[in-house]
Structure 1
């Protein structure tokens, strides 16, 4: 910009920042829409874990708590002899994953291993077995190279921690220099800190994108491929991080005049808009965007993050520079203002954190019975301690003792920062931990009351599954097979459940076809007893058959 006047440079910076914001809005509008979910867990499977079925199924169906995405080559079914029993690519339909399997495989125990990506960008992996005819020693998946690398997992947490630290280091100095900094004091120290913070945020975003490839697919730090990058950048996670980098680049043009003390009001407004948009990229790439109330969670998390950055960033700037360089008169004017700002930031932090916890935890049992809940309790305990120290600092300011005792205020602030450094570490771990509301419902495997049987009709056989076969809500899965044990397409399904011994007439079960030969439905059974399940399947305009199954319900 050699030869440009100050006004021209400022106009160019505003134009660049506005262009960056426009690109951001467009990117958010065209970003791939993700379903509402978070840290999906396997809630049921067909066949279920550890079950023994009389004949080999033509498909294995995995049903997750929420929608999931594919990790190429990471879903396998291993036959008892160690060979691959799956045939072709699995199909993904929301929360249901269907794996084609060779139904003519041998008798014995089969291993199903899977790795998928939940809507909040976290990988979900696991394995279970089922047996055909009779159990046998379970096979080993020698081709499974998707195990989580602890180095990658820890590196992801470090990268997120650096992003949080960078955010507060750029927000604090920018706020203090714009509104509280005495004109006579040099601005070099906080200016360098702000640029360092901006660099940390950018570095963290780049590291997040790099690490997301081995984190989701499995592997080490250097197990990164072009296909993996393409998958990550095409996801909501990748778009959010690219938007963050674009906003940082746009904000850098306006940050320079602010740090130099020459920014106009329009510069500050545009910079504030860019900062607010950048804050939204954190929740959009994590749990909040996939919560039961994504719009509320995203806004609340952005407020939580912004309040943290203002409060802690301001404390760092005060402790590192103002309390050392300002005189008693300046501190007497500055500290009361900062005290009010800090009180507002902490209030917003507490309110947003409470709403966020209610959404992510959901129940008291989940708070104490899950890793996420216990980490949250630890964070709350430390935060209470920080609030106590902050209250002491504010008392010093209210008593007008701050000007005469800056060392006491500085020590209190240093204690606050030391504790909040640990709080930030817990936050970086929390965003990588399965939310309590999801972990508490992780019921994958074979429930004790699970019922499964196969009955034959003159033209096909029907496999009937009911889970958990207890009073209350139950899931019903129906599969049809030809005489040679191949999937039998069904044109129309009908099913009813009755309990004659209790005088309960047939209750219709609404059925949803998932594949040509697989339908599912939900029914509430009000009493225990021997329920009569009647299933009718029409396979053509003239062919249909009805089977009746007795299901013992506890």
Structure 2
């Protein structure tokens, strides 16, 4: 009957996950691919509309497109629409626009629940001052900033709660079943549950003001909350709250129901909780997305096992200094943590490669620099973990003579402290000394090491919370394209395209002779800026992809050479 009940609980929770999760897509930050009119362009007559094309569908439920005249007045109709499955946002303009420079302000919501905003300009007939538009763009950049900062904090609280809850449950079911009835364990699990609840509810309330760029007083606006619940972020958060209710039932039944029943239920609930964070992150976008989501869940599972175990070790197991508990937990923890670290490193490396791709993006983007900080902190944790593992081996797994070995008998495990634990197993020699024989100083040093590991892990969680809200490096890295090629045996050309992305670009051409000296070429249809240096400005590259740049250099009155360069725009 117990087995059937256990399977039934697991099946019901799995069905709930399968019904809800496929309806919630995961993706990364949307990126503006093309604006019409193009940014900084000068056109001959007034357009009927402005259009913004993104690399993925976006939502305008929380955003808007504003077009400002040179004097700061709005010239859009406010009737924004979408095309191409939500990838193109269109805003009609009023008739009879006067010559001058106009500013486009846009704010949309990505499929991953992150707000994307920006500004561009275009001129009709002539370029004019854009003071009002510049001020409006600066004001837009600060809108919703307070909500965004608090959202990062709530995300950190959520991650801390989930990792401690999932890791703590795994610890007591896998390593220390007897810990289910220990007061300190139950207290920590309940505190972690509260943290996960506070983080989820806080995110739900703050998402609206953040998305729409509103003050914090709108956090409790019922209409705004309903709008959030209709987004992928809101649906996933609602599902997480349901799973937290199921987790509360598991916590209340700890020690009262057979471990197999609770183990099955907590396993399914834990996977669902971790999956709910992966679905609204960067895991499900880009190439190899089919591997990205499960890899992210594995990464979070390993992090939960490591962090949750560290906290329980430091706050409960090592603090109690029970010889019986230490004899059971410490050898198992050493192997358990080692496996978790391997999974953490492998999945983390895969995720980092997917979101960075190019070495230059590690130092050239905010995401890359944050990732380097995270990697450095994790490296310190790994060193501390190796030191702790060595101490465990020395203190708890030292070989002893057979005459002094601890015997694991059918009746009990006799410890150095004189206590006993019923095991129900046949007699067999144990080659390690009991935990009670470890010197008190060794336990204190181990506890300090574990506390330090835990403190660094909390900082890693904070960095991770910021990483989730930061555009991936691969979507935000635009290095200047630079390449060179030989024109003749004595002439070489170098080409730079800046910023090598969709929109207007500047091209710089440099000629050098065989000795590396700058030389001029004639005739030339470019702007000469210095001996051997030529510029071609405001060249529009309208789409993402690979462009072929052909440079024809005339080396004499009758001879010319065409050099081809492949330029990749982003």
Measured against the shorter chain, the TM-score band is 0.7 to 0.9
Q: Distance in 2 between matches of 1:72 and 1:185?
A: 45
Equivalent position to 2:30, from 27, 30, 40: 40
Aligned residues of 2:367 and 2:473 also touching (Cα < 8 A): yes
1:237 alignment partner in structure 2 = 233
- Deviation track 1:209-256 (CA, whole Å, cap 9, x = no partner) reads 111101111012222444432332122211111111111112322333
Deviates more, 1:435-444 or 1:152-161: 435-444
Deviates more, 1:386-395 or 1:10-19: 10-19
Aligned residues of 1:75 and 1:115 also touching (Cα < 8 A): yes
Q: Distance in 1 between matches of 2:355 and 2:125?
A: 43
Please report how far the alpha carbon of residue 522 of structure 1 lies from its aligned counterpart in structure 2 after TM superposition.
7.8
Compared CA separation, residues 184 and 41, structure 1 to 2 (3 A):
closer
Aligned residues of 1:360 and 1:435 also touching (Cα < 8 A): yes
Matched, 1:27 2:50: no
- Deviation track 1:391-423 (CA, whole Å, cap 9, x = no partner) reads 000001112357332111101101111111111
- Deviation track 1:351-372 (CA, whole Å, cap 9, x = no partner) reads 1100100111111111110000
Q: What is the DSSP-based 3-state SS (H/G/I as helix, E as strand, rest coil) of the residue aligned with 1:447?
A: strand
Q: What is the DSSP-based 3-state SS (H/G/I as helix, E as strand, rest coil) of the residue aligned with 1:299?
A: helix
1:435 alignment partner in structure 2 = 472
The unaligned stretches of length 5 or more in structure 1 are 1-6, 451-466, 477-520, 531-552
Q: Distance in 1 between matches of 2:471 and 2:230?
A: 23
Q: What is the DSSP-based 3-state SS (H/G/I as helix, E as strand, rest coil) of the residue aligned with 2:90?
A: strand
Normalising by structure 1, we get a TM-score of: 0.75
Aligned residues of 1:172 and 1:315 also touching (Cα < 8 A): no
Compared CA separation, residues 231 and 296, structure 1 to 2 (3 A):
farther
2:90 alignment partner in structure 1 = 98
Aligned residues of 1:120 and 1:287 also touching (Cα < 8 A): yes
Deviates more, 1:292-301 or 1:388-397: 292-301
Q: Distance in 2 between matches of 1:134 and 1:428?
A: 45
Query: For 1:207-246, what aligned pairs fall within 5 Å after superposition?
Result: 207-224=202-219, 225-246=221-242
Q: Distance in 1 between matches of 2:298 and 2:258?
A: 25
1:67 alignment partner in structure 2 = 57
Equivalent position to 1:297, from 292, 295, 308: 292
Equivalent position to 1:118, from 105, 110, 116: 110
Q: What is the DSSP-based 3-state SS (H/G/I as helix, E as strand, rest coil) of the residue aligned with 1:61?
A: strand
Q: What is the DSSP-based 3-state SS (H/G/I as helix, E as strand, rest coil) of the residue aligned with 1:448?
A: strand
Q: Distance in 2 between matches of 1:524 and 1:445?
A: 13
- Deviation track 1:2-37 (CA, whole Å, cap 9, x = no partner) reads xxxxx99x99898667544433322223x2546xx4
Aligned residues of 2:43 and 2:123 also touching (Cα < 8 A): yes
Higher radius of gyration, 1 or 2: 2
Compared CA separation, residues 268 and 45, structure 1 to 2 (3 A):
same
- Deviation track 1:153-191 (CA, whole Å, cap 9, x = no partner) reads 211111111111112322343233334437499611110
- Deviation track 1:80-137 (CA, whole Å, cap 9, x = no partner) reads 3433222352222343222222352111111110001112111111112211111222
2:346 alignment partner in structure 1 = 351
Deviates more, 1:101-110 or 1:18-27: 18-27
Deviates more, 1:219-228 or 1:282-291: 219-228
Q: Distance in 2 between matches of 1:523 and 1:315?
A: 49
Q: What is the DSSP-based 3-state SS (H/G/I as helix, E as strand, rest coil) of the residue aligned with 2:293?
A: helix
Please report how far the alpha carbon of residue 469 of structure 1 lies from its aligned counterpart in structure 2 after TM superposition.
5.3
Aligned residues of 1:237 and 1:286 also touching (Cα < 8 A): no
Aligned residues of 1:173 and 1:191 also touching (Cα < 8 A): no
Equivalent position to 2:119, from 127, 132, 136: 127
1:418 alignment partner in structure 2 = 455
Q: What is the DSSP-based 3-state SS (H/G/I as helix, E as strand, rest coil) of the residue aligned with 1:62?
A: strand
Matched, 1:55 2:40: no
Aligned residues of 2:167 and 2:304 also touching (Cα < 8 A): yes
Compared CA separation, residues 343 and 247, structure 1 to 2 (3 A):
same
Aligned residues of 1:254 and 1:271 also touching (Cα < 8 A): yes
Q: Distance in 1 between matches of 2:29 and 2:9?
A: 38
Matched, 1:138 2:130: yes
Q: What is the DSSP-based 3-state SS (H/G/I as helix, E as strand, rest coil) of the residue aligned with 1:171?
A: helix
2:504 alignment partner in structure 1 = 446
Equivalent position to 1:248, from 244, 268, 275: 244
Normalising by structure 2, we get a TM-score of: 0.73
The unaligned stretches of length 5 or more in structure 2 are 397-434, 479-498, 509-536, 554-565
Cα RMSD, aligned residues only: 3.1
Q: What is the DSSP-based 3-state SS (H/G/I as helix, E as strand, rest coil) of the residue aligned with 1:160?
A: helix
Q: What is the DSSP-based 3-state SS (H/G/I as helix, E as strand, rest coil) of the residue aligned with 2:218?
A: coil
Matched, 1:360 2:351: no
2:261 alignment partner in structure 1 = 266
Please report how far the alpha carbon of residue 323 of structure 1 lies from its aligned counterpart in structure 2 after TM superposition.
1.1
2:154 alignment partner in structure 1 = 159
Query: For 1:457-472, what aligned pairs fall within 5 Å after superposition?
Result: none
Compared CA separation, residues 369 and 162, structure 1 to 2 (3 A):
same
